[in-house]
Every structure is written in structure tokens, then in C-alpha cells.
Amino acid sequence: MIIDILTLFPDAVSAVLSSSMLERARKCGAVEYRVHFLRDWAEGKHLQVDDEAFGGGAGMVLKPEPLCRAVDDLRARTLKEGNSPFVIFPTPDGQPFVQETAKALAKRTNLILVCGRYKGVDERFRETRVDCELSIGDYVLTGGELPSLTIVDAVVRLLPGVLNDFESAEVDSFYDAPLLDCEWYTRPWEWEGRTPPEVLASGHHLKIEEWRQQRRIERTKQRRPDLLK
Ligand code: 6GU
């Protein structure tokens, strides 16, 4: 998979991509990241990418021309490579980004993520260049960088070869049933007078799996009853 990210903060985005699991995924060849500076598509002496909102109020709004030119260039490059790009615009008024969304996006060959700014991106860019608008939750962030990186992380870890068997995505909370995960423990067996449930020391794998599944259901009932409806 190739992921293009268009942003006004390329260094911040690249710093996150070159750390942790996302970097490991790149090194193992599962993904390639291409980070682009929106200002490279700006014109004029001041390389202006935003302007005041028509009608006043709000703050500055990202102008449509640099955004559209940039996405057109990134799209053209992807098409020339023989692939079709999918343009995502993270925004608090988008569709909820959930595990099912991540699974669907993981099947694509090319994603283009456009990091906007809260309150404002010219609506004509959204109408004409964007395939999908996604929100990562009901709260407001200052820009689309963290949501874009959140989406990238959730998608990349689903790509073949990124996780080992132990980390395997198939057993995650939410992977096929929307359940929370069970409790996990490691050494020492006793810590501050507290010990894990005895079944975990039984060596009886079937019983252990039954217990874990029961705990997933129980924890979901207690913590997120909305998921069971
Ligand atoms: Cl996608 N963008 C911003 N700026 N804020 C958000 C969001 C996205 N999702 C939740 N809050």
C-alpha cells in the first residue's frame, strides 16, 4: 500500500511515521509513506494557503486552489503508477471511523489523506476532490494530522506481514465482534498481594480461551453496553 499525506506540518507527520510499528511496516515493505507539504502547491509571493472566510467570522479557511492542485497531482501520479487512489478527508463532521472502516481501507492499494484545519477548508475542495470524510470521534482537534495518523496506524497494522502471530489482529477487540478485550497478566505471578485468576496457570488451553471469551463479553457488558445492542 502507498499512503500519501498532504499537510502543512510535514515534519511532525514524518516524525510519527518514522517511529514504532509504522516504521517497522515500512521496513518490511508492507507500506510506503509519501508526505507532502501543502505550501509546495501555493502560488504568489506569499505562498498563501488560507484566507478569510466569506461572510466573516470563523478563522482562516484553506483556499481551494492549492488543495485541489495538490490532490490532482498526487492522483495523477498514482494513476500513472497504474493504481487508483482513494482520497480521505478527516474532519469532525465526517462518518465515524471504526474498525470496519479500517478493514475496508486496508484492502486498497493507495490512500491519499488530506490534513485540513478545523474550521476551515473551502467546501468546493470537499465537494470535488474527496472520496470519503471520516471523523475519529466526537471531539474537536486543531487539525487533521492526528486523525490522519490515527487512521494510518489502524489501517497499516492490518496489512499482511505487519503484525506477528502473537499480536495478530484477528483476536483484537472489535476485529469481527465488537467486543472489548479481556484482562492480560505477565510475571510475576503475585504482585502487591494480587494474583491472576487460577485458570491462567492451569495449562488447559480450551478452558483458558473459554474464560477469556467470557471476560470479553462481561467487560463489554460492564464498560460499553452500547456495543452489545
Ligand atoms: Cl477527523 N479532525 C479534527 N480536526 N477533529 C476531529 C476529527 C477530525 N475527528 C474528531 N475530531
139-150, pLDDT tens digit by residue?
999 999 999 999
Residue 139 Cβ inside 6 Å of ligand 1? The answer reads: yes
Q: Residue 166 above 80 pLDDT?
A: no
Tell me how far apart the alpha carbons of residues 85 and 72 are, in angstroms, rounded to a whole number: 11
| CA 70 to centroid of ligand 1, rounded, Å | 21
Alpha-carbon gap, residue 48 to 119, rounded angstroms: 17
The set of long-range contacts for 146-149, using a CB threshold of 8 Å and a minimum separation of 24, is: 147/90, 147/97, 147/115, 148/5, 148/7, 148/13, 148/88, 148/90, 148/113, 148/114, 148/115, 149/13, 149/16, 149/17
d(CA 126, CA 109): 22
C-alpha triplet 130, 136, 140: angle, nearest 5°? 95
**Separation of CA 130 and ligand 1 centre (Å):** 16
pLDDT of residue 58: 72
- Listed residue (26, 6, 177, 144) closest to 85, CA to CA: 6
For the chain, percent of residues with pLDDT exceeding 70? 95
Contact criterion met (CB below 8 Å) for 109 and 2:
yes
Nearest CA to ligand 1 atom 7: 92
Residues 6+ away with beta carbon under 8 Å from 208: 199, 200, 202
Q: What band does 19 get if pLDDT is binned at 50, 70 and 90? A: confident
Report field, pTM of the whole predicted structure over 0.85: yes
Averaged pLDDT of the chain: 95
Give tens-digit pLDDT for 40-97.
999 999 999 999 999 998 789 999 999 999 999 999 999 999 999 999 999 999 999 9
CA of 31 to the centre of ligand 1 (A): 24
The ligand 1 atom nearest the CA atom of 94: 1
Q: Which residue's CA is minimally distant from atom 8 of ligand 1?
A: 91
Confidence band of 174 (pLDDT split at 50, 70, 90): confident
Alpha carbon distance 150, 102 (integer Å): 10
Sign of CA dihedral 201, 202, 204, 206: negative
pLDDT digits (tens, 9 = 90+) for 206-215: 999 999 999 9
